[in-house]
């Protein structure tokens, strides 16, 4: 069974949340069918976010198809870690393939997509994304391959590429630039899987921005 790390455990105690990995009513629990997957309650993540003073930009919609019941949106989040502003972003997706209770809650796909995106951003800003899933994405944690398609989505590729190109330009120091890059491994991985060319363009933009920052410091 996986174990909760010290940093997250400390934060959960600070916001008054109880942790018992065997109890699904606790702030964190392990997935019964895969005990190496740890789930964090959305409410607990919201408490931690408020406790640490995180803030978020309004979501940007990538795709909205009411007929196919598909919603994709991107959320950007920030935290002041004492050394400066740290940022991360993520994509929240909802479709019949990755939302088991979709038929019962089809009125709220935008809310669920936003919740998934925000929770992922919180986990990224905490530095624990990949080790933990949020309650909002439990269907995806149960089966990470659900909702994926063999055919790359051009709109998704363009959105991820645009987000990186936009935010790389506004990083003022090399430390900020590297931190932004390291805090967003998920969309980089998604972009590379969908388009090697677009991923290479983003990598080139990263190197170019690093060069500009270095020249400005000399």
Angle formed at CA 104 by CA 101 and CA 105, multiple of 5 degrees: 85
Going by C-alpha positions, the residue among 151, 152, 150, 159 that lies closest to residue 72 is: 159
* 131/38 Cα distance (integer angstroms): 7
What is the structure's pLDDT at 103?
Answer: 44
pLDDT of 139 > 70? The answer is: no
pLDDT of 149 > 50? The answer is: no
Average pLDDT for residues 110-138, to the nearest whole number? Answer: 88
Q: What is the pTM of this model?
A: 0.70
Average pLDDT value for the chain: 82
Q: Which residue has the higher pLDDT, 213 or 159?
A: 213
Q: Per residue in 34-57, pLDDT tens?
A: 777 888 999 999 999 999 999 999
β-bridge partners, 91: 74
Task: Please give the structure tokens belonging to residue 67.
Answer: 């007929």
What is the structure's pLDDT at 79?
Answer: 93
pLDDT of 29 > 70? The answer is: yes
Q: Per residue in 70-123, pLDDT tens?
A: 888 999 999 987 777 788 888 888 887 766 544 444 557 888 889 999 999 999
Q: Is 46 exposed, middle or buried (0-12, 13-18, 19+ CB in 10 A)?
A: middle
Among 70-74, 140-144, 158-162, 185-189, the range with the most confident prediction by mean pLDDT is 70-74
**Percent of the chain, pLDDT > 90?**
28
Q: How confident is the model at residue 144 (pLDDT cuts 50, 70, 90)?
A: very low
pLDDT of 140 > 90? The answer is: no
pLDDT of 143 > 50? The answer is: no
Q: What is the DSSP string of 205-217?
A: HHHHHHHHHHHHH
């Amino acid at each position: 069974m996986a174990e909760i790390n010290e940093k997250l455990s400390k934060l959960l105690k600070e916001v008054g949340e109880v942790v018992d990995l065997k109890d699904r009513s606790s702030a964190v629990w392990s997935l019964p069918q895969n005990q190496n997957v740890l789930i964090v309650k959305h409410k607990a993540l919201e408490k931690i976010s408020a406790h640490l003073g995180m803030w978020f930009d309004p979501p940007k919609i990538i795709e909205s198809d009411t007929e196919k019941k598909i919603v994709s949106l991107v959320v950007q989040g920030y935290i002041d870690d004492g050394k400066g502003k740290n940022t991360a972003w993520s994509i929240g997706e909802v479709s019949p393939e990755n939302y088991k209770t979709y038929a019962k809650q089809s009125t709220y796909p935008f809310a669920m997509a936003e919740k998934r995106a925000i929770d992922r951003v919180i986990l990224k800003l905490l530095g624990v994304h990949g080790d933990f899933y949020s309650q909002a994405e439990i269907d995806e944690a149960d089966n990470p391959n659900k909702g994926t398609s063999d055919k790359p989505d051009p709109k998704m590729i363009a959105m991820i590429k645009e987000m990186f190109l936009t935010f790389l330009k506004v990083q003022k120091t090399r430390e900020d630039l590297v931190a932004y890059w390291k805090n967003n491994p998920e969309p980089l991985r998604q972009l590379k899987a969908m388009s090697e060319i677009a991923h290479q363009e983003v990598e080139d933009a990263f190197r170019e921005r690093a060069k500009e920052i270095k020249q400005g410091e000399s």
